Structure 1
């Protein structure tokens, strides 16, 4: 009786392995990845030049956030504004809350005036937040390499253009 069970199990395993091998398909290197070139040679690979906005700050249109409380993308030209230091930050000239509304810029949110370590509200922007380009990046005008079907879900319409992160940092935490 045991030998019949063993024979049947062995036969089933053989059929499964054989059918798996029969449907296997091989691929060329050029069929893999997004570049469609030989994967073993980088000599012929040239990336598409990145195209950023050349619209001046103050004349650009705000880009909808990717998701609720996502760092907003920079919709304007950043030529000459990068390489920030605590003492030299071109972004704060327009984006400080007391100036932003007058120049129609997105104001720096309350979360940037809060010390996460001490849990205290600050009177000036946190020294941990001076490097804006660590989170905020210019939007490229290039076409995406792959289709993106992600659809953001906002709890409120206003969250498409403003952050409320400081108000709900501990949401759900008891």
Structure 2
């Protein structure tokens, strides 16, 4: 039996989510090329996961996202606005990790292949940066995903500029 819910509220929520990502995408297409980044169009992403009730759960429905090349995905799910930065294993330093976690308290770090086994999850644990670096070094993964979540599209945009600054400072990006 179907659960009763407010269809209008769901409709308005989803339209707002998509509209905010389309707007952000257009703004970033104007702003980011001068920093060496290329902003792709918004797409429907299928097969993603969100962290709910203490576990990663697959979304069988699409959500809006786009790439900021190189190495960044930006989007929104019903849980949060987010970005994910792909960082090669050899570039994951303790300094970058400390700066990332300080700047983005609601974050996750996981491998690009076995993404359901995170090396850091702000909802589960709080290891020291050196312990996270050790987990990264001991992993078979070649690339790690650094994800940060935000309550609003404005916070996401601010966070994106922060991570670009951090990435440049720690030479994370292949520009």
Q: Tell me the TM-score normalised to structure 2 length.
A: 0.24
Looking at secondary structure, tell me which structure has more helix per residue. 2
Q: Relative contact order, CA 8 A, sep 6+: which one is greater?
A: 1
Q: Which has the higher strand share?
A: 2
Structure with max Cα Rg: 1
TM-score (structure 1 length as normaliser)? 0.24
